[in-house]
Amino acid sequence: MDIFLITTILVLVSALFGYVNTRFIRLPNTIGLTVITIVFTLAVFAISAVDSTLLDAERYILEHIDFKSLLLDTMLGFLLFAGALHTDLEKLRAQRWPVLAFATFGVLVSTFLVGGATYVLLPLLGLQVDFIYCLLFGSLISPTDPIAVLGILKKAGAPKKLEIKIVGESLFNDGVGVVIFLTIFGLASGSGEPFSLAHVAELFIHEVAGGLLLGLALGWVTYRMMRSIDDYSIEVIITLATVMTGIVLSQYLHVSGPLAMVAAGLMIGGPRTRSAAMSEITETYVDRFWELLDVLLNTILFVLVGMEILVLDLESPYVIAGVVMIPITLLCRHISLFLPVKIFEKRLDFVPHTHLMMTWGGLRGAISIALALGLTQDMHRDLFLVVTYIVVIFSIIVQGLSVETLVGRLRKWWN
């Protein structure tokens, strides 16, 4: 009953907040829901001085939800599959090398840049933190979030060549980012095997390559099944079963579930497999089903992001550190993108100011918060959770709201 009750409350709150945003505020859903939930939670804090019923209800929900597990082990797979299903595979294939460079080299460089800057900054604020924990923070804040960026970029009207780079990077860098995070987490906690390049390479290959292979296998089986029948209702159920099975198998095989779902979604959603496996009516129903599920899960997710303010320890040095880290994380991302952009910009005809647009349009989101929630107290969890939350909220609200303006100002260089 607890699970059903909590789910009902979350769907009800998401529906109400979504209605308020659509009817009155009219911000992009990702931004509007986050803002409304934060304002609502702050109002609940104020009301709790008189009546704590609503505050107790919010805390009850958060206490009975493992946000990290819910997002990384379950919701992320559905959301990434939905995003990949609607990504233009042909355009992504044309940009595969820069996307790969951004999602691997870029995330790794950003991890060390942010980690080093954090290690230098925190003592200036009276906070002494070991370098390995600063590096851990760098690994969790470096990946961009496809959930936060997909809808906003499409609404902003960014050039397709640019959009596919940002979206492609966001789809793939989660798996890489999580592998880097888990590797550094193992070193920081003193668990697992002693550090060695061979061990890191083995972990990377197992998690990333294993996830991609699993996704391709599931995508191929799904394609063959859908091609052999013509019943849109059963074919929609087959795609749903593919994602649920993939999530379970990735956990059992200890491979990257997010990358598995990206690979499966790209394979099933590719133009050739679509035309061969789906009739026109099937394609319509599959797309509409996953669009609706994507909207529902996104709505619930960003309501939860707003509610997570309840778990923060808002000490002044933590808040100051979070505010200072906003420009630092942006600068580190800009630097990490510089070399890949320079290597590929002439060969693949990049639009002008690609590095600037990718820096500002590469939003951080719920994935970073989920990873921060997975830290232990020895790893300065309270500090890094506050810093992460501030960087993520700035990214979603300020960067998200200004992406369209930036696109408008840069459009003169693209025409």
What does the pLDDT look like over 66-76, one tens digit per residue? Answer: 999 999 889 98
Query: Are 337 and 199 members of one domain?
Result: yes
User: What domain range is 405 assigned to?
Assistant: 67-414
- Residue labelled with tokens 């000490």: 315
Higher pLDDT pick, 202 / 360: 360
Considering the domain architecture, whether residues 44 and 80 belong to the same structural domain is answered as no
By CB neighbour count within 10 A (0-12 exposed, 13-18 middle, 19+ buried), where does 179 fall? buried
129 within 8 A of 328, measured Cβ to Cβ: no
Rounded distance between C-alpha atoms, residue 221 and residue 80, angstroms: 19
My answer on whether 400 and 257 are in the same domain is yes
Q: What mean pLDDT value characterizes the chain?
A: 90
Q: How many angstroms separate the CA atoms of 36 and 334, rounded?
A: 30
Closest to 17 measured CA to CA, from 301, 363, 218, 266: 301
Indicate if the pLDDT at residue 191 is higher than 70.
no
Torsion 271-273-275-280 (CA) sign:
negative
Which pLDDT does position 193 carry in this prediction?
Answer: 54
Higher pLDDT, 151 or 43: 43
User: Residue range 266-285: average pLDDT?
Assistant: 94
208, 341: one domain: yes
Instruction: Answer with the one of 63, 93, 108 that is the final residue of a domain.
Output: 63
1 or 181, higher pLDDT? 181
Q: Are residues 52 and 177 part of one domain? A: no
Do 342 and 218 fall into the same domain? Answer: yes
Burial class for 43, CB neighbours closer than 10 Å (0-12, 13-18, 19+): exposed
Is pLDDT larger for residue 176 or for residue 390?
390
How confident is the model at residue 151, as a pLDDT? 67
- Tell me the pLDDT band of 160, cut-offs 50, 70 and 90: confident
Share of the chain above pLDDT 90, in %: 62
pLDDT category at 195 given cuts 50, 70, 90 is low
For residues 262 and 186, state if they share a domain.
yes
Task: Return the closest-CA partner of residue 260 out of 80, 112, 92, 106.
Answer: 80
Q: Are 148 and 395 within 8 A, CB to CB?
A: yes
Are residue 323 and residue 344 in the same domain, yes or no? yes
Total number of domains constituting the chain: 2
Mean per-residue pLDDT for 251-261?
A: 92
149 and 279 assigned to the same domain: yes
CA distance readout (Å), 404 to 28, 49, 86, 358: 11, 40, 21, 13
Domain edge (last residue) among 63, 84, 115: 63
DSSP letter for each residue of 359-381: HHH----HHHHHHHHT--GGGTH
What's the pLDDT score for residue 102? 93
Residue listed under structure tokens 């579930």: 257
Euclidean distance between the first and final Cα of the chain, in Å? 57
**Weakest-pLDDT range from 48-52, 132-136, 229-233:** 48-52
Is residue 164 located within the same domain as residue 226? yes
Q: Are residues 18 and 79 in the same domain?
A: no
Q: Where does a domain end: 35, 63, 91?
A: 63
pLDDT of residue 262: 93
* Rounded Cα–Cα distance for residues 364 and 324 (Å): 16
Instruction: Report the CATH number that the domain containing residue 230 is assigned in CATH.
Output: 1.20.1530.20
Mean pLDDT of 268-294: 94
Tell me: do 355 and 258 sit in the same domain: yes
The token pair that represents 64 in the structure block: 């009975």
C-alpha distances out from residue 36 to 16, 20, 21, 75, 303, Å: 10, 9, 8, 22, 8
Backbone phi, then psi, for 66, in 5-degree steps?
A: -90, 95
User: Which of 20-24, 179-183, 325-329, 333-337 comes out lowest in average pLDDT?
Assistant: 179-183
Residue 368 is predicted with a pLDDT of 94
What percent of the chain stands above pLDDT 70?
Answer: 95
